[in-house]
Amino acid sequence: MLIDIHVHTCRIRPLARALGRHFVEPATMVEMMDARGIDRAIVLPIISPEHMTHYITPEEVMETCTQYPDRLIPFCNLDPRMLTNTPTADFRPILKFYKEAGFKGFGEFTANLPFDDPLQMNVFKQVEEIGFPLTFHIAPRQGGFYGCQDDAGLPRLERVLKACPNLKVLGHSQPFWAEMSADVTEEMRNGYPKGKVKPGRVVDLMRNYPNLYGDLSAGSGLNAISRDPAFGDRFLEEFQDRLLFGTDICWPNQETPIVDYFRTLQDERRISPEAYEKIAWRNADRLLGLGIQG
């Protein structure tokens, strides 16, 4: 069993295709999953204007997942500036509707505001209340990026973790995973640092906040666990209950080296069979309440 915690797919968007790359279409997404041995995948909407030339609404995600009910699992999303653009906006009716409709989580949350901005905190507290896990994307600064802005050392993320202890958040993106090592510089934060790891803020936060989970998708997640393989294997073992396999498939013919990396981890028994199974699918099953038998 292999559950992918992070993919994006949508119907044809002529404008997006005319202007550049277009997210992979659903049928092709399922074909890519088949080719990689991925049994199920979580589909994340994109609704913040900083991100792309088009929106992928929760409603479209649900329609897509309904076409492939045994393969695709829907997350919902909203932007903190919706409704009233104030820190008192009431998103509960929307979130309750999504939960009753069968959505299993919230994200990818990408609004390019400070992580602990009152608008953001308003969303986090209400998502916590509803009981969804939340996948976020971090940006190194405001402007020119998508994602919640945080500073070196992730102090704003820590404020969220403290303020919302029952909100399970899935860390994702370069500025999150670059903080795996304590020697990360400002110039490295939005990249893929190499070399030996000196345990940094991600390790500290994972140890101190049980509501922080790790989304291992994309180059950022893979780089964090593979740049120093011995350290990466120990990290996977230590946090085996809160790490989740993912690819971040977006584009047709996209390379997904984390799939082969995970096969190597299993084939060479670099981590325990128990840790592998948890990260590969059991943690996603438990976190999202999928009820998979295995």
Reply yes or no on whether the pLDDT at 293 is more than 90.
no
Residues 24 and 163: their CA atoms lie apart, in Å, by: 37
Q: What is the DSSP string of 133-198?
A: -EEE-EESSSSS--SEE--TT-HHHHHHHHH-TT--EEE-SHHHHGGGBTT--GGGTTS---S---
* Banded model confidence at residue 149, pLDDT cuts 50, 70, 90: very high
Stretch 276-291: mean pLDDT: 97
| Structure tokens that stand for 107 in this block | 């994200």
Average pLDDT, the chain: 96
Instruction: Determine whether 180 is exposed, middle or buried from the number of CB atoms within 10 Å of its CB (0-12, 13-18, 19+).
Output: buried
- Per residue in 10-23, pLDDT (tens digit) is 999 888 888 888 89
**Mean pLDDT, residues 190-203 taken together:** 96
Report the percent of the chain where pLDDT is more than 90. 93
pLDDT value of residue 14: 86
The answer, yes or no, to whether residue 294 has pLDDT greater than 70, is no
The predicted model gives 239-261 an average pLDDT of 97
> What's residue 265's pLDDT?
96
In the chain the domains, ranked by start, together with CATH numbers, are: 3-288 (3.20.20.140)
Quick check: helix, strand or coil at residue 262? helix
Q: Which of 21-25, 27-31, 57-61, 161-165 has the lowest mean pLDDT?
A: 21-25
Residue 281: DSSP 8-state: I
13: amino acid identity, one letter = R
Q: 97: which residues sit within 8 A by CB, 6+ positions away?
A: none
Residue 183 has a pLDDT of 95
219-230 confidence digits (pLDDT tens): 999 999 999 999
pLDDT, average across residues 123-144: 96
pLDDT at residue 52 is higher than 80? no
